[in-house]
Amino acid sequence: MIPKPDNPGSSNVVDMRPITLLPDIGKLPARILASRITARLHDQPTLLSRFQRAYLRDGSSRQCLATVLSVIEDFQDRAHTLGHELILTSYDLRKAFDSVQFFSIRASCERLNMPEMFIKYALATLTDASSSVRTAHGLTTPFTLRSSVRQGDPLAALLFIIVIDGLHVGFDQLAVNHGYQMEDGTTISSIGYSDDTATVTDSWDKAVAQHSWIREFFTAHHLQLNPKKSYCIIGSSHLTSADSPHPQPRDLRRLQGVSPCHIHDPAHNLPAETANAPEWDSSRPGEADIVTRPPSHAFRYLGYQLRVDLNTAPVIKSLQYTIHRTCSLIRRQQMSLLHAGHVISEFLYPKLELSLAFAPIKAAKLKNWESQIRQAVLHIAHDHSTRSLCSNAMYAAMGILPLRQYTATVRATEFGVHSRGETLGWH
C-alpha cells in the first residue's frame, strides 16, 4: 500500500494506492500481450477514441492539457459575443482501477472484437484471484478480489482504457449537438487521460446532457465519482475575468452526483438500490453533487493549476514556492556545485517543467528566479573564487542550463510534440 501524495502520512487505506506484486511467470506473458496491443493501437489509432491519450506510444497528458487550453483560449477570443458560454467539467474517479468490473472487461473487449482467447486469459488472471497486504509484521490473511484490474499488472492500464473508451465514444456520438465548436469548425466534447476526464460544451443544457451520459456510463459499470475533486467551471460573456470591476454573481447551478445507492457493491454482494434512492432536488445541494464555479476558480488538472480566465497567478505562486523551498534546501545544506546541480536538474526543473511549458511567464520573472537560484548556489560556505563565478560559468560547472534557456527548450519541445499530435489527428 503506497500513500498518495495528497496525504503522505495518513494511516487510512482510503488514502493509499494498492500496488500488486505479481510473480514473474505471470507478468511475462502479460508484458508480451501488452506490448503487442500497444503496437496495434499505435498502428491503427482509430480503434480507440482519439480523445483518450493515456498509455499510448504517441499519447501524453500534455496533449490533453494543450487541447483544454486551446478551447479556453478560443472561448476567451470570442467571449465578447453576447451569450457565448463555455462549460468545462473535470471529473475524477474514486478508486478507478479498483472499481473495474469483470463484466465491463468482457463487454469492452468484445466491442473491439478482441479474440475470445485473450478475453478469457485476461479474466482468468483476475477471477477468483486473491491478494495479501504486506505489512511490517508480515502478510495479512488472503482476501478474494471481486473487482479491479491490479496495478502492477502490465495489462491493467490497457484494460482500463479499453473499458473507459466507451465513455469517450459516447461523447463523440453526442458531439454533433453537444460538444464545443471551435472557431475553425473543430468540435470537441471530451478529453481523457486514464481516469481524468474533462468535458467541454457551449451551453448549460448541453453540459447537463453530457453529465447524464457520465452518470449512465458510471452507473452501468459501477464506477464512482469523487465530487471533492470534480469541478464544473462556467465561463460566459459577463464572467470571463476575476479582475472585472463588476462583482460576479454566484451561480447556483449544480450537476447531480452519482449516489452510492446507484452503484452495485460486489465486495459485499449488495445490488444497486435505484428504486429506493431519494429523488434528486436541484434546489438542495447533495454531498455527491458537483457545484458550479466561476472562471476565476483555480483547480488542478493533470498537474497544472488551471483557470478558465487564464490568470496565471496560481501557477506563478506555486513556482515561486517550489523555487524558494529548493533554494533554502541548497543554502541550508551548504551543497557543493555538483550536488546543487544534481538537485536542480533532478528535482527542481522537473517540478517546474509543466508550468514553464504552458504558462506565459515573463522574461523578467524568469530572470528574477535565476538570480534567486544563483544566490542560493553560491552560498557563503564556498571560497571567494567560487562565489565570484559569473552565471554562465556557474551553470557550466553544474552541468545544467540556465532557467531561461531551459524554459525556451521546454517550450520548443512542447510546440513540436503538439504540432506532431495535430498531424496524427488527435486534435
pLDDT of residue 152: 80
Residue 414 near residue 406 (C-beta atoms within 8 A): no
Residue 201 near residue 87 (C-beta atoms within 8 A): yes
Q: Taking Cα atoms as reference points, which of 89, 93, 68 lies closest to residue 297?
A: 89
**Which residue has better confidence, 359 or 133?**
359
**Percent of the chain whose pLDDT exceeds 90:** 52
At 388, the pLDDT band (50, 70, 90 cuts) reads confident
**Percent of the chain whose pLDDT exceeds 70:** 86
Average pLDDT over residues 340-356: 95
CA distance linking residue 394 with residue 396, whole number of Å: 5
Cell of residue 325, nine digits: 523551498
At 382, the pLDDT band (50, 70, 90 cuts) reads confident
pLDDT of residue 42: 92
140-154, 259-273, 334-348 — which is least confidently predicted?
A: 259-273
At 262, the pLDDT band (50, 70, 90 cuts) reads low
pLDDT of residue 82: 61
State the average pLDDT for the chain. Answer: 85
Over residues 77-119, the pLDDT tens digits come to 887 766 678 999 999 998 888 889 999 999 999 999 999 999 9
**Which residue has better confidence, 41 or 271?**
41
CA distance linking residue 366 with residue 333, whole number of Å: 24
pLDDT at 257 over 70: yes
Over residues 140-163, the pLDDT tens digits come to 888 887 778 888 889 999 999 999
CA distance linking residue 178 with residue 205, whole number of Å: 9
> What angle in degrees, to the nearest 10, is found between the helix axes of 61-77 and 349-358?
30
135-144, 336-345, 391-400 — which is least confidently predicted?
A: 135-144
Residue 246's Cβ-side half-sphere holds a number of Cα atoms within 13 Å equal to 7
Cell 519541445, located at residue? 413
pLDDT of residue 424: 40
**Which residue has better confidence, 273 or 147?**
147
pLDDT of residue 81: 67
pLDDT of residue 169: 92
pLDDT at 366 over 70: yes
Q: Taking Cα atoms as reference points, which of 267, 253, 204, 195 lies closest to residue 229?
A: 195
Q: Taking Cα atoms as reference points, which of 133, 127, 157, 160 lies closest to residue 145?
A: 127
**Which residue has better confidence, 339 or 286?**
339
CA distance linking residue 52 with residue 414, whole number of Å: 19
Average pLDDT over residues 374-380: 90
Over residues 182-207, the pLDDT tens digits come to 888 888 999 999 999 999 999 899 99
pLDDT at 268 over 70: no
The answer to whether the Cα torsion of 385, 386, 391, 397 is positive or negative is positive
pTM reported for the whole predicted model: 0.85
Cell 490473511, located at residue? 141
pLDDT of residue 243: 44
Amino acid letter, residue 344? I
pLDDT of residue 94: 86
pLDDT of residue 271: 52
Over residues 301-310, the pLDDT tens digits come to 999 999 999 9
Residue 414 near residue 63 (C-beta atoms within 8 A): no
At 128, the pLDDT band (50, 70, 90 cuts) reads confident
Please state, in angstroms and as integers, the Cα–Cα distance from residue 41 to each residue in 35, 150, 160, 172, 397, following that order: 10, 21, 14, 19, 44
Over residues 17-32, the pLDDT tens digits come to 778 778 888 889 999 9
pLDDT of residue 247: 42
